[in-house]
Structure 1
């Protein structure tokens, strides 16, 4: 039975006071969405405030909890950062939303909690130890080092074929997946890929000497790969994130009633950033909460199909995300100004209209023409400094506000290239490093745990977590398990040490604190040596010595030269005369708002040209993308991919947009560009 929601003016005012600046109101577009509690799609242009409108809807729903039928609200986004933003903005105002029967989390966490883990527990009578890509790859690597322990009944000749596969095509062991198809469980080459076909790797065999495996051998090898992955999943109890979707689909296949149970549990389902979902994520959400239009749930999908740059193997999000008949649009952008809006909308996959509403703080129009920097081979590294000069000049004229909160960024699609003459981001900014300040959960060597912590974190949490994760990895490599024969977590490790030897427990905590302080003070090599010296004593607490973790402890980093890492200063920032320009990829800038953005075109494969300016020449000259796609039949995928990148990159700035192009390509494809719309600046 549907829960009827009648939104009052007082509800809108309540949400406005929490979410908007003083004296700001939701416009009619957003109010239409906030008031609508039917299954629909919301297509929203960049900077339209779609997430804010969703938060308003959630605040209003929370005031009516518990809902009459005891059902809950499900809120799904693509990343932990997006979920954290929801928590930060409304949790203190809407605490019931974050309690049972509601759920706010990522698509991965939803699949894990409600489908994959329950199915795994029921099927194998235990819980998975970890669901994590990096730990999965680590476990595969350990198994590959001892392949003879995983014969599964095959003979010695067949094991030699497996070892040959490992030597010639080791990546296959990490990449292939289980997939449910009709009533069968198949192996696929990659997630959402074709069925795994066993073909003898050619290696260095000459063509005339090559002989493929026999059908019987292929069947035996296929069965071995099946059993190997099943062993990792069942007996090692380690799941790749992709495995969770496989188990979820098995759950639905074997127990179809779970679909109705989830629909009754979650009457209102909101998926933010829908365009970032991959095929398997889109399909399982549709299967559960739309169910061919028969679902009990109100299912609202929110996003911008033109910004689909995250969806992995599914470059055709417009093909898998077909619009509902009931689709609302947010066309007003509070980020994009009236001068940039008609330029940005040319790159939309569909005919999109953007109403540029961004103005100066005093209410006046922003009147800065977008710039094109034309460079040659000798001046490509002057592009970013020139960008800084233009910003400073506009600040002097009062056209760009001087505000410490301003964000300036230079973005590019591809980071680097090995081919001579093919531009990547690093060609414009030689100091660019991919590692930057980001940290990961898992690294190949101990040194990386110490050197690559999140330097933007002003507390000790990031580095202390990294150090603890390093010790946990050592325990995994040495196959040291807890009392339940599971790999240690941070909590179980500290509990074990505290219960067994409180003095050593306190000593480890103090050491971690001291090491963290030293890392913050840039004594990284010093800390590395201290931790190495401490590890034998740490392992002695478990009656072990260094064995299988030796290479991890002593290994050198493959990321960058760790000695060159700068402390508290990211190398991906250009600084000049008080102007700080962050340098990064378009993916890293998605969702951000900049005061000024510089788009650096880069080489991406071949097909209808090699660079954005070539593939999108018609859009630069004023034609909408759908018109171009209506005429062109070759390399459509490349054009669409380039368009989505440019659409995202061009829609970041509030004031100034700049685009960098080589002189040869400018003369070839953009010499006729409308100079009333674009300011052309030659750098040579």
Structure 2
């Protein structure tokens, strides 16, 4: 497909607000329509370039009346929103049939899991829950039918224990595609009861009670039949996997199996060096499959040159004319002096650098562990960050209550599809809505707890199910949701400026203070990368965490090192590359 200059003018006017142009690497990516892995460094404009690519592609497909489908996998609503807004502004219209945009779970549930259950079990009533403790009663009943002697009172503890082991164990497919069960509890009698446990587990799953990760198990089972693979391959010619480094390995394997073909264009876009979940493997990329977007507009060469020491393969380059401040090593003796010195650095730079002062980005302190917050600010506990939710609080509360009622009735003998339909059309659902509104207005369930309990019990009693009381875990879950699921305040408290590195992944900040206490993993990475330590006695995750922390900034990065670790050898190397500031000394800007 040939991209015309008028196409660029259109997407640049929409996505860049006529304030700039896509750089040469971004244009190469936009015009690239072959199977590749695209490594896009921090601040390289990956999401914006992807949105431009989708606009131009769909505009071309519409003009040629092509039936080729486009499939985009994202991890956040931000990318979905940016792409759909750009499509609407371009006159293409939001993504709709035969195309698809959504998360990997949404894709596999819609195109594999639901079709599988319809095809195999003639229903599509699925409930996803990673903490499905309601299955315990089901397993007790199941094994009670299969092993009559286990129902005797003297075997009650064993029956309960076996039910819990079934609930905690995980189904998987053997190499011959037969079902098996992981012995997650290291039980010495596991082999004796394995077959029974598999049957019990699977019998509940086919009723529609799944965990989130079982999306991939049942998709794999569905795709064992080649005819279903071919349907998806023919429908979706173009596949774009955004943030591929954060994709579940099982999901990635399924996508590779589906779309690595000569007839599909399958592009993975992301940054493997930003894989920062512990125990998650870093994706491997073959050089021949690789395309890099490594020109950043976030920071200047002052930051880029250090990132390239920490992560040489990233080879980050800054845009011409982009400037940052020289990064700082902050030497401290007392942890309590670190934060005031950081604030002093910010004030001094604001007084001398107008670009720094006029930036609307935030300044944040980054930690590996939340407990370090009180080391940075005496007596201050780490404040849980309130994330924006794609669902309203009403939706979350309602979903939790509805799922609870359905599971309880089904576990005690109801039919899943029939129960869901009955509850959906029940005359008392309006009463539930009114209670939820009261909860949201009050910000608590305390005042309506008994009223809510009575309403839930009315539903349960109508279907002959056992009632609950206030001590049920449901009410604790509801209380936690009313506290935690809130829309974040745009005017975030400036004093709440301590975050984990994981919490700021994807953000752009004006400045960062990075502290590293206790085992000092990040300091070890730093000293090894600068050739001071010979041994690389750290995991790749810590290397990636340092890379992510440093690459958040537009202007200033500060790394705190304890005075007792500041040896003459370290000083001789780092003072050639970094500005050195001591907490008690005057700051020279």
Instruction: Provide TM-score, normalisation by structure 1.
Output: 0.74
- Alignment match, 1:611: 521
- Alignment match, 2:450: 532
Partner Cα distance (2:446, 2:115) in 1:
41
Aligned: 1:384 with 2:339: yes
Q: Deviations over 1:633-658 (max 9, x none)?
A: x75xx331111111111100000111
Partner Cα distance (1:64, 1:44) in 2:
25
Gaps of 5+ in 1: 190-195, 201-212, 417-423, 440-453, 604-608
Match of 1:144 among 128, 136, 144: 136
Q: Deviation of residue 403 (structure 1)?
A: 4.4
- Alignment match, 1:49: 45
Q: Deviation of residue 269 (structure 1)?
A: 1.0
Match of 1:36 among 32, 38, 63: 32
Stretch deviating more after TM superposition (589-598 or 379-388)? 379-388
Q: Is the CA contact (8 Å cut-off) linking 2:432 and 2:455 kept in structure 1?
A: no
- Alignment match, 2:180: 187
Q: Deviation of residue 28 (structure 1)?
A: 1.2
- Alignment match, 1:75: 72
- Alignment match, 1:448: none
Q: Deviations over 1:179-230 (max 9, x none)?
A: 22322334354xxxxxx38844xxxxxxxxxxxx4xxx54332123312321
- With over 3 angstroms needed to count, the CA separation of the structure-2 counterparts of 1:658 and 1:247, relative to structure 1, is same
Partner Cα distance (2:283, 2:469) in 1:
43
Q: Deviation of residue 20 (structure 1)?
A: 0.7
- Alignment match, 1:340: 303
Match of 1:353 among 309, 312, 315: 315
Partner Cα distance (1:76, 1:551) in 2:
41
Aligned: 1:271 with 2:186: no
- Alignment match, 2:472: 552
Partner Cα distance (1:471, 1:660) in 2:
47
Q: Deviation of residue 369 (structure 1)?
A: 1.9
Q: Is the CA contact (8 Å cut-off) linking 1:464 and 1:512 kept in structure 2?
A: yes
Q: Secondary structure at the match of 2:102?
A: strand
> Aligned ranges for residues 143-542 of structure 1 at < 5 Å?
143-144=135-136, 147-151=139-143, 153-154=146-147, 156=149, 173=166, 176-187=169-180, 189=182, 196=183, 199-200=186-187, 213=188, 217-235=189-207, 237-253=208-224, 255-290=225-260, 294-310=261-277, 313-318=279-284, 322-323=285-286, 325-348=288-311, 351-357=313-319, 365-366=323-324, 368-376=325-333, 379-403=334-358, 405-416=360-371, 424-425=372-373, 427-429=375-377, 430-433=379-382, 435-438=384-387, 462-476=392-406, 478-479=408-409, 485-486=416-417, 493=423, 495-497=424-426, 500=427, 508-519=432-443, 524=444, 527-537=445-455, 539-540=457-458
- With over 3 angstroms needed to count, the CA separation of the structure-2 counterparts of 1:222 and 1:584, relative to structure 1, is same
Q: Secondary structure at the match of 1:41?
A: strand
Q: Deviations over 1:50-79 (max 9, x none)?
A: 221111111111212335541210111234
Q: Deviations over 1:561-610 (max 9, x none)?
A: 999x999998x9774xxxx553222222111111111222255xxxxx65
Q: Is the CA contact (8 Å cut-off) linking 1:410 and 1:581 kept in structure 2?
A: no
Partner Cα distance (1:93, 1:487) in 2:
45
Pairwise CA RMSD? 3.9
Gaps of 5+ in 2: 585-589
Partner Cα distance (2:398, 2:478) in 1:
21
Aligned: 1:589 with 2:581: no
- With over 3 angstroms needed to count, the CA separation of the structure-2 counterparts of 1:581 and 1:513, relative to structure 1, is closer
Match of 1:683 among 562, 567, 583: 583
Q: Is the CA contact (8 Å cut-off) linking 2:39 and 2:270 kept in structure 1?
A: yes
Q: Is the CA contact (8 Å cut-off) linking 1:48 and 1:332 kept in structure 2?
A: yes
Partner Cα distance (1:51, 1:567) in 2:
26
Q: Secondary structure at the match of 1:616?
A: helix
Partner Cα distance (2:486, 2:236) in 1:
47
Q: Is the CA contact (8 Å cut-off) linking 1:278 and 1:313 kept in structure 2?
A: no
Partner Cα distance (2:401, 2:508) in 1:
39
Partner Cα distance (2:176, 2:91) in 1:
43
Q: Is the CA contact (8 Å cut-off) linking 2:332 and 2:560 kept in structure 1?
A: yes
Greater helix content: 2
Q: Deviation of residue 529 (structure 1)?
A: 1.9
Partner Cα distance (1:470, 1:641) in 2:
35
Q: Deviation of residue 326 (structure 1)?
A: 4.2
Q: Deviations over 1:272-302 (max 9, x none)?
A: 1111123212211111110xxx331111111
Partner Cα distance (2:102, 2:82) in 1:
11
- Alignment match, 1:451: none
- With over 3 angstroms needed to count, the CA separation of the structure-2 counterparts of 1:658 and 1:12, relative to structure 1, is same
- Alignment match, 1:7: 3
Q: Is the CA contact (8 Å cut-off) linking 1:71 and 1:267 kept in structure 2?
A: yes
Partner Cα distance (1:574, 1:61) in 2:
42
Instruction: Provide TM-score, normalisation by structure 2.
Output: 0.85
Q: Deviation of residue 19 (structure 1)?
A: 0.7
Partner Cα distance (2:201, 2:540) in 1:
36
